[in-house]
Chains A and B, each alone.
Chain A
C-alpha cells in the first residue's frame, strides 16, 4: 500500500485555493472571522465559497450540488462550518453525505488542554482517529416486522486496514508514542474482531510505536479519571463519535475543538464540529475558535507551518490573557471584537 501523503508541500509564494463551506446558523459569521484573521496574517490562501444544501440527483439519491463537488475535487482542501441535521426524518445527514461523496475515511480530532480556558481536566493531550465511512453509521436500517427494527453495523477489512494505517502514519509523523485500538470485541466478536485483527497486522509494520487494545468501557472509565494516560486512539465509527466528543468535553467543548477529515486522493476537509447554534446566529456572539483551529490544522496539513504557528499562537495568547473573550469562554465580548483582537496580535507578530 502506497505511503499516505499527509503533508503536501505546496509551492511557496503561490496562492492556494481552498473551498470554503460557511454552513448554517453561526457558520457564515465564524467563516468571515477566519477569513479576516487569515488576511491579517497574509496567509497565501484564496477562498472559494460553496453551498452544499442537499439536492435530489438523478436516480432519486440525495447528492451535494455538482459545483461544490467540482470545486473540492479541484482544490483538494476544504474548510467547513456547521451544517444542520434533522432528527429522525428527512434527508440523510449532510455531514454524512459529504463524507460519502469524498470518501473521507478518517476523522482526526486532536484534543489539547487550552491554557487559559480552565476545565476540571488538565494536561490533556490526545488524538482520536475515527473510522468515518462505515460501522454503525452505514445508514442501513430496516423495519423487519411492525415494532422490530434492525440497524446494520458494517465492518470491512479494507476500511479497517486503511484507518489503522492512517493512525500509525499520523502517530509517526507527529511523534506520538502509542496507538490504542478501542473496541468491544467481547460482545461484537466478528465485527470488532476484524477491526482489531487489521490493527494488529498494521502494527507489525510500525515496531517503534507502541500498540495496545482496550475495551470501550474501560477507555471511558479511565478517560474521566486520568486522561493523560492516552495518546492516539483509533476506533470504528460510533465509538469514535462518542469518544471524540467526550475528549472535546474534557478540554472545554466543541467551541474550541478542531477537527479534520482525511479522504482518498489527498482530499481533506477541515471543520468545526459544533452545532449551528440557531439561537445566537446573526447576533455576533459566536466563538470562531473551533473553526480557526481547524483552519490552523489545515495549514499544517498543507505544510504551511509558519503561518499555522503564527495564527495558533495569536489565538491561544488571546484566550490566555482573558481580556477579550466571547460569552462561551467566560467573557462578554462580541465575535467581531474577539476576531479583531486576534488580527491585531497576528499583525504585531510580523
Chain B
C-alpha cells in the first residue's frame, strides 16, 4: 500500500462524510465554528462529530482518539498544555499524534499575493517527523537537580519520513529535498536520520538532495528563503523551521497544516497556537483553519468544494488587502465569501 496515497474512508449513505471535530482551547472553538458555518452555507456533504477535550482527565483524549479511529479524519484546534502540571500529564496534542501514529506533519508555506511581507516568492514544503525525536516525552530525574530527557531517533521512522518526503516531492513535481539536521553535534542521532535520508534519496535520482545544519537553515531562511524547495527534518527542528516559515509568509493566521499517518489524517493550523490572549474577541484570523479544512476536503476527494472554498478565502484576502498586525473582525470576513 502506497505511503503517500492514503485512502480516505468511504462516504456514507447519501455521499456524506463524518469528520471528528476537536475544538480545543483558546481560539480553536471560534475558528472551528467559522468552518462549520461556512460548510453549512456551502452545503458541503460533511457532518462533524464534535468531541471536546478538556485538559484534566485521560478519558476525554481517549474518546477523541477513538472517534478519529472510527471516522478516519479529524479537524482540530490546539489543546492547551498547562506546563505547571507534573510530567505525568502529557501533552494531549502529542498523545493524539503518537497514538494514531500520525508520522508526517506537512506544511506548505507559500507567499500569498494579498499579504505584505519582507520576503516574496516563498514556496516551501516542510515535512516534519511527527512522533519521535525530542517529543518522545521520556524524562527522568536521576538525582535531585539533574534531569535527563531522551531524544529517540529510529531507523524505521527516519526511513519512513524520508520516503514520504520524496514521494510527496515527486507527486508535486518538486525538484529538491533538503534534510535539516545537527549531525555535527548529535553524531549518532541526527547522523542516523541523515543516513536514512541519503539512502532514500538514492532511489529518487530525479530529485536533488542536500543537507543543511539547522542553525544555518534558520539563518538562510531569514535572508534568502527562496532557495528552499522541500525540507524534511526530525521533530524539534520541524517545530522551529515551520514557525519561522509561517512568520515569513505572514503569520500564524495564514498557514494550514496536516498530520498524516498510515490510516488517519488530522488537519489543523500549521503553528498549533492556542491563542489564549486573543480568544473570544472576534479578532483571530480564520484563514489558516479554513485552508486546513480545504486540505481536509481534498483528502476526502471532495475537490470541487475544496477549490471553491479555497478560492473564496484567497479572493477575500486579496480584496480586503489584509494588513497583518491590525486586528480584523473575524465574522464579516467569513460571510464575504
Q: Which residues in A have some Cβ–Cβ distance to B below 8 Å?
A: 85-89, 93, 96, 119-121, 136-137, 139, 141-143, 146-158, 184-194, 196, 216-218, 220-226, 238, 241-246, 248-250, 253-254
Return 6 A-B CB contacts under 8 Å, by A number: A151-B151, A151-B189, A153-B149, A154-B146, A193-B87, A245-B219
Whether B244 pairs with A152 at a CB distance below 8 angstroms is no
Number of B interface residues in the complex (CB < 8 A): 68
A88: chain B residues within 8 A (beta carbon): 183-184, 187, 190-191, 194
A152–B148 CB distance below 8 A: yes
Classify the interface of chain B: helix, strand, loop or mixed.
mixed
Q: When A220-B240, A249-B219 are in contact, do A150 and B152 touch as well, CB less than 8 Å?
A: yes
A253 near B223 (CB under 8 angstroms)?
Answer: yes
Residues of B within 8 A of A248 (CB): 219
Tell me which of A85, A120, A194 contacts B118 (CB under 8 A). A120
A88-B183, A242-B240 given; 4 more Cβ-contact pairs under 8 Å: A87-B187, A190-B139, A217-B271, A254-B219
Chain A's closest residue to B246 (CB) is A221
Chain B residues near A191 (CB, 8 Å)? 139, 147-149
Chain A residues whose C-beta falls within 8 Å of the C-beta of B246 in the assembled complex: 221
Q: Are A188 and B185 closer than 8 Å at their CB atoms?
A: no
Is B50 at the interface (CB under 8 A from chain A)?
no
B149:A152 contact, CB within 8 angstroms? yes
Given known contacts A141-B186, A186-B91, A221 and B252 CB-to-CB distance under 8 angstroms? yes
Tell me whether B218 and A249 are in contact (CB under 8 A). Answer: yes
Chain A residues near B219 (CB-CB < 8 A): 245-246, 248-249, 253-254
Of the candidates B148, B218, B252, the one having the most CB atoms from chain A within 10 angstroms of its own CB is B218
Indicate if the CB atoms of A193 and B146 lie closer than 8 Å. Answer: no
Q: Mark B218-238, 1 if CB is under 8 A from A, else 0.
A: 111111000000000000110
Within 8 A of A (CB), among B190-243: 190-192, 194, 214-216, 218-223, 236-237, 239-240, 242-243
* Nearest CB in chain A to that of B271: its residue: A221
Chain B residues near A186 (CB-CB < 8 A): 81, 83, 91
Contact among A87, A119, A154, A192 for B183, CB-based, below 8 A: A87
Interchain nearest-CB distance for B155 vs A (Å): 3
Residues of B within 8 A of A (CB): 81, 83, 85-87, 89-91, 94, 118-119, 134-135, 137, 139-141, 144-156, 182-192, 194, 214-216, 218-223, 236-237, 239-240, 242-244, 246-248, 251-252, 271-273, 324-325
- B242 contacts which chain A residues (CB < 8 A)? 217
Find out whether the CB atom of B215 lies under 8 angstroms from the CB atom of A143: no
Q: Considering the chains assembled together, what is the distance between the CA atoms of A261 and B18 in angstroms?
A: 57
Q: Please give the distance in Å from B225's CB to the nearest CB on chain A.
A: 10
CA gap between A121 and B118 in the complex, in Å: 8
- The reply to whether B191 and A188 form a contact with Cβ atoms under 8 Å apart is no
A89 / chain B contacts, CB cutoff of 8 Å: 187
A287 to B118, CA, bound (A): 26
Q: How far is the CB of A113 from chain B (nearest CB, A)?
A: 13
Chain A residues lying within 8 Å of B244, measured Cβ to Cβ, are 220-221, 223-224, 246
Shortest CB–CB separation between residue B245 and chain A, in angstroms?
9
Q: Are B222 and A189 in contact (CB under 8 A)?
A: no
Given contacts A188-B134, A245-B219, whether A136 and B186 have CB atoms under 8 Å apart is yes
Residues of A within 8 A of B83 (CB): 185-186, 189, 192-193, 196
A245 touches B247 (CB 8 A): no
Asked if residues A151 and B243 are in contact (CB atoms below 8 Å), the reply is: no
Q: Is the Cβ of B221 less than 8 Å from the Cβ of A218? A: no
Residues from chain B with a CB closer than 8 A to the CB of A246 are: 215, 218-219, 221-222, 244
Q: Most chain-B CB neighbours within 10 Å: which of A184, A218, A238, A248? A: A238
Residue of B nearest to A138 (CB): B148
Q: Which residue of A lies closest to B186 (CB)?
A: A151
Q: A141-B187, A224-B244 are in contact. Are A120 and B214 (CB under 8 A)?
A: no
B248 CB, min distance to chain A CBs, angstroms: 6
Check if A156 sits within 8 Å of B147, measured CB to CB: yes
The CA-CA distance from A153 to B153 in the complex, in Å, is: 13
For the complex, what is the distance from the CA of A196 to the CA of B149, rounded to whole Å? Answer: 15
Q: Does B148 lie within 8 Å of A153, measured CB to CB?
A: yes
Docked Cα-Cα span, A217 to B245, in Å, equals: 11
CB distance from B224 to the nearest CB of A (A): 10
Bound: A193/B89 CA distance, A: 13
Contacts of B222 in A (CB 8 A): 120-121, 224, 246, 249-250
- Within the complex, what minimum Cβ distance (angstroms) separates B11 from chain A? 36
Contact pick for B215, options A96, A221, A245, CB 8 Å: A245
In the complex, the chain B residue whose C-beta lies closest to that of A86 is B184
**Could you tell me the distance between the alpha carbons of A143 and B65 in the complex, rounded to whole angstroms?**
32
A149 and B86 alpha carbons, distance in the complex (Å)? 27
Residue among A156, A241, A243, A250 making CB contact with B145, cutoff 8 Å:
A156
B150, B187, B189, B222 pick with most chain A CB within 10 angstroms: B222
A190 touches B135 (CB 8 A): no
Q: Is the CB of B152 within 8 A of A224?
A: no
Instruction: Give the distance in Å from the alpha carbon of A243 to the alpha carbon of B219 in the complex.
Output: 9
4 pairs of A and B residues whose beta carbons are closest in the complex: A157-B145, A147-B155, A249-B219, A224-B247
Interfacial chain A residues near B248, Cβ < 8 Å:
224
Chain A residues lying within 8 Å of B325, measured Cβ to Cβ, are 225-226
Measured CA separation A158–B143 after assembly (Å): 12
